[in-house]
A and B are shown apart, each in its own frame.
Chain A
Amino acid sequence: MQRPVVSIEDVVVTYRSKRRRTALTSVQGMSLEVGAGEFVGLVGESGSGKSTLANAVLRLLTGGGEVDRGRVSFNGEDLLMLSEESLRTVRWRDIAVVLQSSMNALNPVATIRTQFRDVIRAHRRSSWSEQQVDADVSRLLSLVKIDPKYASAYPHELSGGMKQRVAIALALVLGPRLVIMDEPTTGLDVIIEHEILSDLRDLQRERGFAVLLISHDLGTVLEVADRVVVAYAGRIVEDRPAKALLNNPLHPYTRALLDCYADPGADQVRITYIPGQPPNMAALPPGCPFWPRCAEAEEKCQQGPVPPLTRLDGGGLVACHHAGAGTREGADPNLGRSGAVYVKSRANASASHHPVITVTGVYKTYRRNRLPLVALNDVSLTLPRGTVTALVGGSGSGKSTLARLITGMERPDRGTIRFDGRDIPRLGRRGLHAYRQHVQMVFQDPFAALNPMNTVGYTLLRPFVNYGRLSSTEAFKRVRQLLEQVGLTPADAFVGKRTSELSGGQAQRVVVAKALAVNPDVLVADEPISMLDVSIRAGILRLLDDLRAQRGFTLLYITHDLLSARLLADQVIVLHRGEIVEQGLAADVIQSPQHEYTRLLLRSIPNPRRRTLAAESKVSP
């Protein structure tokens, strides 16, 4: 490895709340180096401490977070001990950041140019003339493929993807040696995300700065990074060159994460999922923090000390009692695949039956900033009874709008949506009330879909009371059955919990249970896994699939992700800019896409086994 630009040594960060008198150590001793010009990815799910670590480097911790221990060496100095004024000169000139959710990272009342200018001024380049500054801003904006005329625009005049590009250009303005990027593309359209990361990789190679890319998505990181660092429960569990890690993951967690990805175009798609929940930092188990979810865990893992991060003979670091022994090349591929396997082969696509919902010639236009925004443009489709249809498209494709129209949450401008002889847009309040006994919805963000003031029991009881007209003892019995069915066992442990106390995966299971309480004919699921941690996504998909097999409802699965579409769906419909561009049997569409947009979508889903972006980079030892 090259000489490190920055070296993080055994950093411990604790969040303390004075009011609640709590302390949560979310980074429990992480060490990590980033070499000059190196592109390092830091991967972890919620609770891994990855963002906290990133913020600790430049002392940007908020919410009561404090560094208790450790050092961050840069240029022979410890950034954690530097005076505020000396640190100020290091910030941005040497180390720049791109924040998570850059949507809100630009000052709303200043032009783009101003936000470049103030940082140039602050770092004593006040000798620069206005023309020099303007020229530099234009050059940087062009670099990230933004028309330089936007320099005089305000942030609200830019789209999300453009703001993200501006944030990257802003990070490069002083020619830093390291850029820390905290989930820079989360929340963006998949295609745009892919474009930005690929441009970033080119730029990084061209200009030679180092990058620390923080992401929850191992697939994305493996595509761009030279070296990948995997974090779990506030510790680093594996730190190895990307290629080595991909070909021979050593930590069971890394292995399990990798198994969450697959090529959607294969004849047989298989993914596994990691059982249990992402770590709860307030209640970590003794021993290795991963053991409750690990298939290889032995007594040593459960009781002994936390396995230390140890250097391997072949290069790289890993923290596992088993992995130190050596590589497992040629070992049984199923060993260590900790979760249940979810397999979909080409054969089990079913033929269509008669339609349960028919959408004909639907148009919908919104007004945004007084400009018309076409969401749906002459869309017609049918949902065959008892099948799964995946509606696939990027953001702005109109897929969520269609879900809202089909469920009666909104009305189309034109066109009909028929269910059992009824035209849904014409239903009044009463009609909709009755309709919802047949058509239910699973929302994208489970925490938004559950009232934080209510308990799980109350939430699930309401549909039974409103539609089932059951006695309360009977209804409670059904609530318990439902909880068991969605895998929340024992049910009694969940009935009294407030929904705000659940983990993401548990909350989404409650949302699914609530939708199924009325035993609907049709379930519309709008991106039900996109807000969840990668390790538990497949579990929710599997749950939906199992429940459908048991109950036989029709599923409309809305997603941007063709892999999950392939796993779940019989039929795939691709929506682009409000129009259906392609539809057919899932395997057909994904294996031999006809439309350019479908191909673009396929190219954009993270697929670590492809490693397109980093493929040409020199392989590190």
Chain B
Amino acid sequence: MRYLIKRLAFLAFTLWLAVTLNFLIPRLMPGNPAQIMVQKLVGEGPVNPQLVRAVGIMLGLPRGTLWHQYVLYMHNLLHGNFGVSYTYFPYPVMSVVAQALPWTLILLGTTTIITFILGTSLGALAASRRGTWFDTTATITANFTATFPFFWTALMALYILGFVLHWFPQSGGYNAAMMPQWSSAFVISAVYHSILPALVIVLTGTGGWLFGMRNNMIHVLGEDYVRLATAKGLPRREIALAYGARNAILPNLTGFAMSLGTLVGGSILVETVFSYPGMGYLLFNAVGNSDYPLMQTIFLFITIGTLVANFIADILYGVLDPRTRRGGVSA
């Protein structure tokens, strides 16, 4: 219980910090992003003054104390008002982000879970069969795939599997001739388009988990309780799972933050290479067009997503490790 409260407090604190960081970055940076944006917007044609004001609140108003601006910013944030996008003028940022968000959530959510499960199981297997051909092959392969740059793997996959072999589409999140809707044809098309990006993320992201798990598990397999489990005459499989993997997975969860960071960064590059209609590609375009309100909002959403994912990993750790739980029979 105490652990849960602690993690919740940390989540709340980091969320607040991310929001505040988002407020401060455009204001502390050289130049005047707000002014550049407003000028750009005016150049597009007649603008709703309310939207211009919202942009100012996101990026820095010319007037008012910093505190006043902060209060306004928080107020707008809580009402889902993130200003207007320059690239997708006159759409508000929120609606642009809302379109991209599900794509990334599904792509990154699925691949994170797949890489974690795949990497952890392969790592456990490699550790329990240490020194065999499987161990050697797995670690050397992972050594290579994990150090390949995401975008390069993506380019190669695109070239070979998309351009040369025509097995998969080369860009986009769905067949461009279709309208996004909940039809089976559209869903099939979306899944088909997402296979290649997902494959690249899984291929590159699995290695980190594999190494983490393998090293943890080798450490755990040397512990006295594993030796005792052997002496107990338990089947090998049970020792590897209930004693080895069960204990080794805990430190692997502690490393979740770093591996997730790698995946998030990697997915931005992968989405860009495949022109996948998610947050990463949107961020790429926003930066390219100096669309600051859109960029800030995407950054905020990516950060919040990462924080929540880390929170879930922390909670999972708490559930799996009895030492974080209080109570039991002893006083």
Contacts and interface: CB of A to CB of B under 8 A. Distances in A.
Contact between chain A and chain B defined by CB under 8 Å: yes
B44 interface: no
B224 A118 contact: no
B227 interface: yes
A402 to B, nearest CB: 27
A152 interface: yes
B242 interface: yes
A101 B225 contact: no
B231 A107 contact: no
A109 interface: yes
B225 A106 contact: yes
Interface size, B (range): 20 to 34
Contacts of A92: 231-233
A92 B234 CA distance: 9
Interface string B307-331: 0000000000000111100001110
A89, A109, A153 — most chain B CB neighbours (10 Å): A109
A563 B224 CA distance: 33
Interface in A151-208: 152-154, 156-158, 167
A156 B330 CA distance: 10
A109 B247 contact: yes
B192 interface: no
A100 B228 CA distance: 10
B243 A89 contact: no
B45 interface: no
Contact of A105 (B224, B233, B321): B224
Interface size, A (range): 35 or more
B16 to A, nearest CB: 27
Contacts of A87: 233
Contacts of A106: 225, 228
A97, A107, A156 — most chain B CB neighbours (10 Å): A107
B328 A107 contact: no
Contacts of A154: 322-323, 328
A62 interface: yes
Interface in A99-130: 99-102, 104-111, 118-119, 122-123
A148 to B, nearest CB: 10
A104 B225 contact: yes
A93 to B, nearest CB: 7
A65 B74 CA distance: 65
B243 A119 contact: no
B259 to A, nearest CB: 22
Interface in A53-92: 58, 60, 62, 84, 87-92
A119 B321 contact: no
A209 to B, nearest CB: 16
Contacts of B321: 109
Contacts of A157: 328-330
B233 A122 contact: yes
B143 to A, nearest CB: 20
Contacts of B322: 108-109, 111, 154, 156
B232 A118 contact: yes
Interface in A24-70: 58, 60, 62
Contact of B222 (A58, A62, A102, A153): A62
B235 interface: yes
Contacts of B328: 152-154, 157
Given A88-B235, A122-B234, A105 B329 contact: no
A152 B329 contact: yes
B229 interface: yes
B247 A107 contact: yes
Contact of A60 (B230, B236, B323, B330): B230
Contacts of B238: 118, 122
A56 to B, nearest CB: 12
B225 A105 contact: yes
23 contacts: A60-B231, A62-B227, A90-B233, A91-B230, A91-B232, A92-B232, A99-B227, A102-B224, A104-B223, A107-B229, A108-B322, A109-B250, A109-B322, A118-B232, A118-B234, A118-B242, A119-B233, A122-B234, A150-B330, A152-B329, A157-B328, A157-B330, A158-B330
Interface of A: 58, 60, 62, 84, 87-93, 96-97, 99-102, 104-111, 118-119, 122-123, 149-150, 152-154, 156-158, 167
Given A109-B320, A119-B234, 20 more contacts: A62-B227, A90-B233, A91-B230, A91-B231, A91-B232, A91-B233, A92-B231, A92-B232, A96-B232, A102-B224, A104-B223, A104-B224, A105-B225, A105-B227, A105-B228, A107-B247, A109-B247, A119-B233, A122-B232, A152-B329
**Nearest 9 A/B pairs, CB to CB:** A91-B233, A157-B330, A154-B322, A104-B224, A88-B233, A119-B232, A92-B233, A105-B224, A122-B234
Interface of B: 222-225, 227-236, 238, 242-243, 246-247, 250, 320-323, 328-330
